[in-house]
Amino acid sequence: MKIAAITEDGKTISQHFGRAPYYLVATIEDGKIVNREMREKLGHTQFQEEEGHHHHQSGGDGHGFGHSAEKRHHRMSEAIKDCQAVLCRGMGRGAYENLIARGIRPVITDIPQIEDAVLAYVSGTIEDHVEKLH
């Protein structure tokens, strides 16, 4: 099983899915982390230069909905299409729903350390704080 976490430093989980520059992908075997891999992640910084991008575009259902937002979220998650879940500390509802549609479970956690959060996910004790969606 592979679990991704959004990060800036490879150790802590970033506050916002759209702004994080990297994923740390942890490979789990027998309940233990056996490999860690840093992957570049597209985000708001790269999309700002694209024509028609509006950071807080919404379509009435909340932040991050609409055709262009769906395309951006799809591109953001392409690097982790082999992962079962992605851990973050905040994200927009559109990104959250897009990940679910791709078969990747988004989890908004209050655990700051990647290793602790990954192990909590594996043990089934992690809480998904969906109240932090925006």
Q: What is the CATH number of the domain that holds 13?
A: 3.30.420.130
> What's residue 65's pLDDT?
62
Confidence (pLDDT) at 57: 42
pTM, two decimal places: 0.85
Structural domain harbouring 40: 2-132
pLDDT at 8: 96
Amino acid at 98: N
Q: What is the pLDDT of residue 58?
A: 40
Cα distance from N-terminal residue to C-terminal residue, the chain: 28
What per-residue confidence (pLDDT) applies to 54? 47
What pLDDT shows up at residue 47? 54
Q: Give the per-residue pLDDT at 50.
A: 54
Q: Are 23 and 105 in contact (CB under 8 A)?
A: no
Q: Tell me what pLDDT residue 55 has.
A: 46
Number of domains in the chain: 1
Question: Consecutive sets of 10 residues in the chain, 134 residues long: mean pLDDT of each?
Answer: 97 93 97 97 64 45 63 88 97 92 96 98 97 90
Token pair of 45, please? 């910084």
